[in-house]
């Protein structure tokens, strides 16, 4: 049986530097907020830049980096996992089918986390890429005031505190929107953390049961392969 081993270049510097920068930025963002808001926001922006780079690379990057190379059908993913459990692992030069699905899930969840973070930053502090101009803010305020004034007019207790009603409704709208985006941001951040847990589990399983040196490959860019690799 021919079983020659050779070293192949799988991950280029942008993927490797990008991955380890992402790891640091993600945990920095996860562990900071409130007092360290500027650190949180900048760590989040680094995650955002990584995502833009990785998504572009997914279409125009090298062979193993392209989405078309590691997005497999559910049947292939299940087949791969069955073989892994039966201790008959199939070897892949790039991401294996299960690893590829996890990469897509991570990229989607990270996009949700960074996107909702930017939206929340705009709603809370009117800062960041989704912040609105002073003119837009005035217009929004005016439209909310008109609606709430109309509601106040229709209300039964006209004589009570007519003037305070528009302001109160306005405040309520802002609070509701802030709570919505905060909940959604927290949800995506925790979903990403859960996916990272399974990502690490996958790396550990492949590294030890399957004898794949995946972490080394993510550091050096090279994999030692033989003719069992596809
Ligand atoms: C110390 C912790 C981590 C280790 C040891 C690690 C290890 C790895 C390894 C070995 C790969 C390549 C897997 C393969 O060959 O199929 C990989 C890919 C990946 N990891 Fe991690 N990882 C870590 C943390 C994270 C975190 C925290 C995130 C996201 C928040 C993450 C997101 C990704 C993504 C998106 C890829 C795909 C890389 C690409 O194709 O560009 N990893 N990781
Ligand atoms: C992608 C990585 C990110 C992670 C893992 C992350 C994680 C978190 C977590 C866990 C919270 C606490 C949620 C809660 O308990 O209510 C939070 C809050 C927040 N994040 Fe992020 N975030 C990220 C990116 C961003 C970005 C890019 C921005 C804005 C540009 C942002 C803006 C905020 C804001 C404004 C809060 C609310 C802080 C407060 O009022 O207490 N985040 N984030």
Written as tens digits, the pLDDT of the chain (230 aa) is 445 678 999 999 999 999 999 999 999 999 997 779 999 999 999 999 999 999 999 999 999 999 999 999 999 999 999 998 888 888 999 999 999 999 999 999 999 999 999 999 999 999 999 998 777 777 877 776 666 666 667 765 555 554 544 455 555 567 889 999 999 999 999 999 999 999 999 999 888 877 788 999 999 999 988 888 88
Residues 188, 183: Cα–Cα separation, whole Å: 9
Residue 44 lies in a domain: yes
Alpha-helical (H) ranges within the chain are: 13-31, 37-60, 67-70, 74-85, 97-125, 134-154, 164-208, 214-220
Residues 62, 44: contact at Cβ < 8 Å?
no
Residue 1 in domain: no
pTM for this model (two decimals): 0.89
- CATH code where residue 68 lies: 1.20.950
Does a structural domain hold residue 88?
A: yes
Range of the domain at 113: 6-225
Rounded CA separation 150/129 (Å): 33
Question: Per the structure, how many domains does the chain have?
Answer: 1
Please list every protein residue whose CB sits less than 6 Å from any atom of ligand 1.
Answer: 15, 19, 22-23, 26, 54, 95, 99, 103, 106-107, 192, 196, 199-200, 203, 214-215, 217-218
Does the Cβ of 41 fall within 6 Å of ligand 2? Answer: yes
Nearest-atom index, ligand 1, CA of 65: 40
Sole residue written with tokens 């780079």:
53
The pair of three-digit structure tokens given for residue 110, joined into one six-digit string? 């990270």
Residue 192 lies in a domain: yes
183: how many CB neighbours lie within 10 A of its CB? 12
CA of 199 to the centre of ligand 2 (A): 22
Is 230 part of a structural domain of the chain?
A: no
Residue nearest to ligand 1 atom 22, measured at CA: 200
Does 99 fall in a domain? yes
Q: How far apart are CA 34 and CA 51, in angstroms?
A: 24
């Amino acid at each position: 049986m021919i079983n020659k081993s050779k070293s192949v270049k799988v991950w280029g510097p942008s993927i490797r530097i990008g991955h380890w920068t992402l790891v640091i930025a993600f945990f920095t963002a996860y562990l900071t907020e409130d007092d360290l808001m500027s650190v949180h926001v900048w760590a989040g922006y680094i995650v955002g830049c990584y995502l833009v780079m990785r998504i572009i690379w997914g279409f125009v990057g090298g062979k193993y980096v392209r989405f078309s190379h590691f997005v497999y059908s559910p049947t292939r993913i299940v087949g791969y996992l069955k073989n892994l459990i039966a201790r008959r692992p199939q070897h892949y030069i790039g991401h294996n089918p299960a690893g590829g699905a996890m990469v897509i899930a991570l990229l989607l969840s990270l996009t949700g986390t960074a996107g909702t973070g930017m939206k929340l930053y705009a709603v809370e502090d009117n800062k960041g890429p989704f912040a609105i101009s002073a003119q837009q803010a005035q217009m929004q305020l005016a439209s909310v005031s008109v609606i709430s004034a109309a509601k106040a007019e229709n209300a039964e207790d006209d004589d009570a505190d007519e003037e305070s009603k528009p302001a109160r409704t306005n405040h309520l709208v802002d609070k509701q929107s802030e709570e919505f985006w905060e909940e959604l941001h927290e949800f995506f951040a925790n979903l990403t953390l859960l996916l990272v847990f399974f990502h690490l589990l996958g790396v550990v399983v492949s590294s030890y049961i399957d004898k794949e040196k995946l972490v080394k490959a993510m550091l050096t860019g090279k994999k030692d392969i033989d003719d069992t690799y596809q």
